[in-house]
Chains A and B, each alone.
Chain A
Amino acid sequence: MAEDNRKRNRSARGKKKSRKEIDVATELTQPNRIVKMKNVEFDPIIFQPMKTGKAIDNILDQDGGVPRASNYIVIGDPGIGKSTVTLDIISDLAETGHKVLFISGEMNRIDLYKYVQRYPKFGDIDILFMNEHLDENPKLVIETQLKEGYDIVLGDSFVEIQDTVKEALFMTSTATEKWIIDLMISNNMGNNNAKKYTTFLMIQQVTKGGNFVGSNKLKHNTTGMMEMRWTKSGEAYLEMNKNRRGPVNKRLYFKLDNPNDVFYDTGRFLMEENNRQMLNSEADELKAESDDFETMFAETGTNKFIDDVVTNSAEDEMEQHEQNLENQDTVKEPIAE
């Protein structure tokens, strides 16, 4: 019996090994592509950011606007307004003639209806409600929709879309994530009917501690990560903690009190920007002064005043005394037998 079991195990191990060997290719199907960037050409429109006309433009791209052909992850504290701010961004872009899509993995029509009462401009956005296509292959639903070609697509949330596809098609999390990332990259490159270099804003859930829950692969394949947080005094701000196209760690405070529009505190942003420049300049000044100090006293210090200086023999004596006391403490007492 035991011998049979051992045989079975050996056989199973052998099968696994042989399958692995079959799956891993041993030869390249095509030669590696080595690229010289000077020979690469892009449609110039890729490098023309899409302007919302609001202060958020200063946060995302150094040339101002939402960069094309890029992927952003948006994370933040619960209830801070991740959906509202991102919907506001794509609404503003829609108003300036950009083709936008909202893939809603979490909110349904009723939820969005309430939203639109407060922000009527959201009513003009094209929305794909994932929960209305539960009988379809969700992968196909999304691929077909993106094939139309959009300037910007908002996904809320990445995890929810990933789970919908994963559960419907019995895929692993890793495979689903890879599929979404590949789809995003493909659309970034304009592989759609309208040849749009699509930008994706993907809201991502966070842990209870407020940290990003996605994989490193997802993190590495994004252009930037936007964080929305509360200050201790209850003010909401957003900042980029990673950004390949623009600045990082610049806080833009915002409020959701106004109907139909996110209010960005542009004055404060510009003030902090101005302060930042001054702080940098001040740091340079301090560095130069520190160098001046070292030069000044390295040149003149040591010998110039040495004759004036009282030899601090009393302190040396005190140190010697302290040392003696320490030595006394460490003298080993005779061990009682």
Chain B
Amino acid sequence: MVSHSTRALVTLAVIGAAVAAPSPAPAHPFGDPQTVVISLDEQQPDVVHVKWRVGGPDDLTLLGVTLGLLPKDRVKADGTVDYRYTDPGIVGASAQFADYFLQRIAVSNGTQACTGAVQQPIQALALKGATADFACASPVRSATLAVRMLTDLNPAYRTLATGPEGQRYVYEGGHDSYDWTLVGARPAGTGKNALVQLTAVIGIALALVLAAFLLVKRRRRVVPA
């Protein structure tokens, strides 16, 4: 005799397939990661450029709400954000955003802090990001860049940063400062390094899958069902 629970299970599965909602958008702060690019000005050796770009545009909405530029009800009680396509423009045009940028991103040349100014006007903040010029007291060969963007909103925000010659670093809570070589950096070789590591892991994984497959096949031949 078939159990009612079993029938219910199958029925539920079928009905569930028809009515279940697809997954919601990725929750903060685990969407597209924010990025930073550090470079030295080609004409002025004492000026460092830092370009920041947000991960998801709705991160800008969250920031706009925090800076008082957007109404609070744009962030729902469950943490979801009501993003509108005008949000990046509102945030980018505000003085609050420029101040916030310079509070959360800092450059120092040795012990001396460099003076930052955000390039204006900021256009297409979500797409192209914003850049600040940091003028240092003397020509820069290496600089310390501190990045704490958005970590005040949620400490889990991370920033993936790139510098000259393929240098890379990940900023996160507890790792918010890093020294970059801006002149005379040797190629970091992260691409080659990654290729070797990934090939090794993929090779081993494929070998294991193949071995398991052959083992199962051999067992099937040897052991009669």
A and B part of one assembly: no
